[in-house]
Amino acid sequence: MSSEHLDQSLPSVDHPASPDGPRVPRLLIFDVNETLSDMSPMAKRFKDVGAPAHLAATWFAGLLRDGFALAAVDSSDSFAHIAAESLRVGLHGLPLNRGAADAVSYIMDGFAGLPVHDDVPDGIGALGGLGIRLVTLSNGSASVAQALFDRAGIREHFEGLLTVEDAGRWKPAPEAYAYALQECGVDPEDAMVVAVHPWDIDGASRAGLATAWVNRTDGLYPEYFSAPDLRAVSLTDLADQLG
């Protein structure tokens, strides 16, 4: 998606530096998987095919690891391909109640029906109402984000749905964030990445962007990663802080 196709006609607002926090951004860049989408229903998909429900979390962490590993050696592959192939490998040898290929397809189809987290519709609406531009930058495909937002009724708030598939490198590689900034025509100091993943916060921070960590589960932030500029328990909380 070229930057000339992104709608930059949103109302202009003053974005002064705050004495109590980072400069209010002109652009918010949202992670999608787990940050906006609620992936908990995927556990039932595993259970439906005869696999342990807890394997869903292990599988998702593993596919992210493999995407990062490819990025570390200057390579890349699509989220869908890595997800399906890692499923094929992870389900091997389990007493499934259907064929392996059918089980992989059934679990992958679960992405098409995921909901957003409860705080997302109101939070995105509130953030959009502040006059801040909103886009996504996902390690997944833009079509998955499009369908997710259409179901949730929030697509109108996003001027663009960006994916690392067009950047050629998965987050948290710096090239991924640079791609989003270039597409949106924004300098790093005017952008903020919003994510639930500390690794995404760290990568964005190292690329010069401001960051907001969404911590819905009262978790701990790893000290070996760059600390987020803002910490929020929900997107509505983040909107309150930025507003």
Domain with CATH 1.10.150 in the chain: 42-113
In angstroms, rounded to a whole number, what is the distance separating the alpha carbons of residues 168 and 69?
Answer: 14
pTM greater than 0.85: yes
Mean pLDDT in order along the chain per 10 residues (243 residues): 44 43 85 98 98 98 97 96 98 97 98 97 97 97 96 97 96 98 97 98 98 98 98 98 95
* Residue ranges matching CATH 3.40.50.1000 in the chain: 3-38+115-242
Q: Under CATH, to which class is 3-38+115-242 assigned?
A: alpha beta
3-class state of residue 62 by DSSP: helix
Which is it for strands 133-138 and 160-163: parallel, antiparallel or unpaired? Answer: parallel
Query: Which class would CATH give 42-113?
Result: mainly alpha
Q: Are 148 and 154 in contact (CB under 8 A)?
A: no
